[in-house]
A and B are shown apart, each in its own frame.
Chain A
């Protein structure tokens, strides 16, 4: 039963991202979505992927998004449409509960003796999938240079503060 509550809270976070007027509330909704996504992954037995999502995604990328929203969003954001967000969340949760027909097997959830599938599949990335690791690292290096070049810009446009 608690598992269903966590999934409905995941849905609440996603409706907040989708339907909010200001990017501040959307970033909050994305944090709520990733947090309850971690809870869902932990209950299935993928604890390492949950840790990865929490540390790297929420602790790295979402912090960068919050800094960017401080840079570029409105200083005085619009009054929030929280009532409409809650109404959309209730509609989506009723839809989800109506098409819900079969149960997840109780052996897949909260299985304390589950094997560490995510760690053993990550080890393949270092052994046979070394090329994928190399390509991923090179892609991150390329994106670093892209981010520096794009945000440097040319000096031909106005408003070049920061």
Chain B
């Protein structure tokens, strides 16, 4: 495996693990989600450029558009949470706990 594939692989898995294991802030989770989408964009673009399949460059631009949609929806949720609880700490979202 060459070094570019290894670095992009580890970027993807750091993003996934950062979304799954998150302790403190909701904004850290959203930033790890953005890292995941950036890694997907870089992966698809480099793979299609190296292997000369040019249709997927088009797809990666659309992926960037939909990642913007997703980020703004997540930020709207975080703003609503921050206005209700005055913080976005994950330990404060315990209204439905028994």
Contacts and interface: CB of A to CB of B under 8 A. Distances in A.
Chain B interface mostly? helix
Interface residues of A, number: 76
Interface residues of B, number: 59
B67 to A, nearest CB: 8
Contacts of B50: 44, 104, 108
B21 to A, nearest CB: 9
A161 B30 CA distance: 23
Contacts of A40: 4, 42, 46
A150 B80 contact: yes
A153 B68 contact: no
Given A23-B25, A68-B27, A150-B76, A45 B49 contact: yes
B5 to A, nearest CB: 9
A46 B49 contact: yes
B93 interface: no
A18 B42 CA distance: 18
Interface of B: 1-4, 6-7, 10-11, 14-15, 17-18, 24-28, 30-32, 34-35, 38-39, 41-42, 45-46, 49-50, 54-55, 57-58, 60-62, 64-66, 68-69, 71-73, 75-88
